[in-house]
Amino acid sequence: MIRQASIELHGHTCSYRTGGRGPVLALVHGITNSSASWEPVLGLLAQHFTVIAPDLLGHGDSAKPRGDYSLGANASLLRDLLLALGHERASIAGHSLGGGIAMQFAYQFPERVERLVLVSSGGLGRQVTPVLRAVALPGAELVLPLLASRPLVDAGTKLGGFIDRLGLSLGADISAMATGFASLQDIEARRAFVHTARSVIELGGQRVNATDKLYLAAAVPTLIAWGDRDPIIPARHGIRAHELMPGSRLELFAGAGHFPHHDDPVRFATMIEEFAAQTEPAAPDEDRLRRLVVERGRAA
């Protein structure tokens, strides 16, 4: 059974969903989303894992303070949440912005990562939907209330449902985006969204790019999953990352968009279960990391 709980971390409420038994699997959502975005697969994954899906600060039912919403700050909060819940190590799965956080977590705290799962991940290339690039524009905060207005959100949800009924999976993307923008109806949430978006996106596209460090993935079993019709972040980012990440696995979901775990929850959960069963957890090895860094530095 999946339950929702909360904990105080550094004076701020952090909400999360958890359930299941077995190896720990942390699920990190994308921008404007929350742990609720994992609902289609939470029950399936809980059959094999202890799942922990936080609402990042500024999202969902977690606090929305003025503060640092960078990838590094989110990675540190995830570490503190896992430690507070009694878990020293975990497999980390991140969707969209959450993928960037997952990679940052693996970079900052390699000794705490058993496996890495990147789902339609940010931080692997420049391109991103113009809707998010527009947040970098001065005065974007003034437009957000319109995007979050109930009539527009309801219209988006209905349009997504209509497209779904036509058998076109991209309707799931529209519905999920509408739900995300619905979360921006209060000023604290809008402020957190702008700070989060501008920490990783500028007018020309994504400003954070992890491709120069992907060789470090040789030390961590890595799975990359993407919808081949993703309109938010193109699937070619995942294909290129797979080429740059030694030993990584790539799963493309035919016909799926930015939320492959919504388009095919059973396949998605089975994919992660099989990946975990077929790989050994990364073993903390500072000497190996040091050799990787030094050898890449010499080759540069």
Averaged over 157-172, what is the pLDDT? Answer: 44
Question: How high does pLDDT run on average in the chain?
Answer: 86
pLDDT at 57 over 60: yes
Averaged over 125-151, what is the pLDDT? Answer: 70
166 compared with 268, residue with greater pLDDT: 268
Q: Which CATH code fits 3-129+207-299? A: 3.40.50.1820
**What confidence category does residue 91 fall into, taking pLDDT thresholds of 50, 70 and 90?**
very high
pLDDT at 112 over 90: yes
State the pLDDT at residue 281: 96
Residue 290 has φ and ψ, to the nearest 5°, of -60, -45
pLDDT at 153 over 90: no
Q: Across 50-54, 202-206, 284-288, which has the greatest mean pLDDT?
A: 50-54
Inter-axis angle of helices 187-200 and 97-108, to 10 degrees? 60
Q: Across 139-143, 162-166, 203-207, which has the greatest mean pLDDT?
A: 203-207
pLDDT at 207 over 60: yes
Contact 58, 189 (CB under 8 A): yes
**What confidence category does residue 156 fall into, taking pLDDT thresholds of 50, 70 and 90?**
very low
**What confidence category does residue 292 fall into, taking pLDDT thresholds of 50, 70 and 90?**
confident
State the pLDDT at residue 40: 96
State the pLDDT at residue 177: 66
* Rounded Cα gap, residues 263 and 286, in angstroms: 39
**What confidence category does residue 215 fall into, taking pLDDT thresholds of 50, 70 and 90?**
confident
For the record, the structure tokens of 18 come out as 């958890």
pLDDT at 131 over 70: yes
* Chain segment 258-272, per-residue pLDDT in tens: 999 999 999 999 999
102 compared with 194, residue with greater pLDDT: 102
State the pLDDT at residue 1: 86
State the pLDDT at residue 132: 80
**What confidence category does residue 250 fall into, taking pLDDT thresholds of 50, 70 and 90?**
very high
Q: Which residues are tagged catalytic?
A: 96, 230, 258
18-32, 154-168, 193-207: which range is least confident on average?
A: 154-168
154-158, 183-187, 236-240, 267-271: which range is least confident on average?
A: 154-158
State the pLDDT at residue 179: 66
State the pLDDT at residue 145: 55
For the record, the structure tokens of 45 come out as 């994954």
* Rounded Cα gap, residues 4 and 54, in angstroms: 9
Contact 35, 29 (CB under 8 A): yes
* Rounded Cα gap, residues 63 and 139, in angstroms: 24
pTM recorded for the entire structure: 0.87
Residue ranges of domains in the chain: 3-129+207-299
Report DSSP letters for 12-36, one per residue: EEEEEEEE--SSEEEEE--TT--GG
